[in-house]
Structure 1
Amino acid sequence: MDDRMTTDLVMSALEDAYKAKRPKKGLIHHSDRVSQYASADYRKRLVKYRMKASMSRKGNCYDNACIESFHSLLKKEFVYYTRFKTKKQAYDGIYQYIEFFITASESMVLWATYRGFSLQLDSNEKQPNFIF
């Protein structure tokens, strides 16, 4: 967390995310076209982490609509209602919010998948139908 978004800041965030999640080769890393994500250093780091770079099309504001919506929720539900005394406290709180949001979202997907599977079995299916 910093006062402004620099290449060093986004490099640090990418490194933290990579260390925390250790994604498999081929992860698609989507960003907008700001210079920090287009920098040679950042793009080299994506190659090092075996990530595929993806950028918004010029003038297309809808490419990042999902993350912009999430940022709106983060601010409305947490940031605007929390008084942070230090940057570290803000960082830790926002990190926890994001981790909770992701965990809750994954749980909802698993529940919906399970529920759909249960409904399929309830409709006179004796064996589940899996396609591999």
Structure 2
Amino acid sequence: MGSTMPETLVTTALQRDLLAHAPAPGLFVYSNRGGQHCGDVYRTLLHEHGALRSWSRRGECYDNAQDKSLWSRRKTEVFELREWPVFADLADAQASVAEYFDYYWLKNNNSSG
């Protein structure tokens, strides 16, 4: 997460995730149609790891309903509990996103049910 979204931000995040999780070939990686997801570096990373790029159809927001639902839950569970401005600075926003996704991942991957 950054104050802008250059291609290097997206490719660095993808590279870290691919290295951390070593997914099996055939992984679908959803992205929007932004220029950051169309670049050669991004496409090469996907190809090198046997991952497939998945895009929604143009103008079809429901193709990405799972992702939209996750961000909606985050807004409800986190944003609405904070006073405006929601974040003190970029570092606060980054920490909030990391904390929420760690929480969400643990909650949904807990083997005890």
Q: Could you tell me the TM-score, scaled by structure 2's length?
A: 0.80
Residue-pair matches, total: 110
Deviation at 1:29, TM superposition (A): 0.9
Q: Secondary structure at the match of 1:24?
A: coil
Identity %, equivalent residues? 29
Runs of at least 5 residues in structure 2 that lack an aligned partner in the other structure: none
Task: Answer yes or no: is 1:16 the counterpart of 2:16.
Answer: yes
Query: Does the Cα contact within 8 Å between 2:87 and 2:93 map onto a contact in 1?
Result: yes
Secondary structure of 1:53's partner? strand
Greater RCO between the two (CA within 8 Å, min separation 6)? 2
Report Cα offsets for 1:79-117 as digits up to 9, x if no partner: 453454443343233112112112212238x63xxxxxx
Q: Do structure 1's residue 39 and structure 2's residue 39 form an aligned pair?
A: yes
**Structure 1 residues not aligned, in runs of 5+:** 112-132
Contact 2:3 2:90 in 1 (8 A): no
TM value normalised by structure 1? 0.70
Measured after TM superposition, the shift of residue 33 of structure 1 is 1.4
Match of 2:106 in 1: 103
Secondary structure, counterpart of 2:54 in structure 1: strand
Superposed counterparts of 1:10-89, under 5 Å: 10-82=10-82, 84-89=87-92
CA contact (8 A) 1:31 1:64 kept: no
- From the superposition, tell whether residues 20 and 96 of structure 1 become closer, same or farther in structure 2 (CA, over 3 Å): farther
> CA shift at 1:64, angstroms?
0.9
* Equivalent-residue separation in structure 2 for 1:88 and 1:103 (angstroms): 22
Question: Which one has the largest radius of gyration?
Answer: 1
Q: Which runs of 4+ in 1 moved over 6 A?
A: none
CA distance in structure 1 between the aligned counterparts of 2:20 and 2:75, rounded to whole angstroms: 23
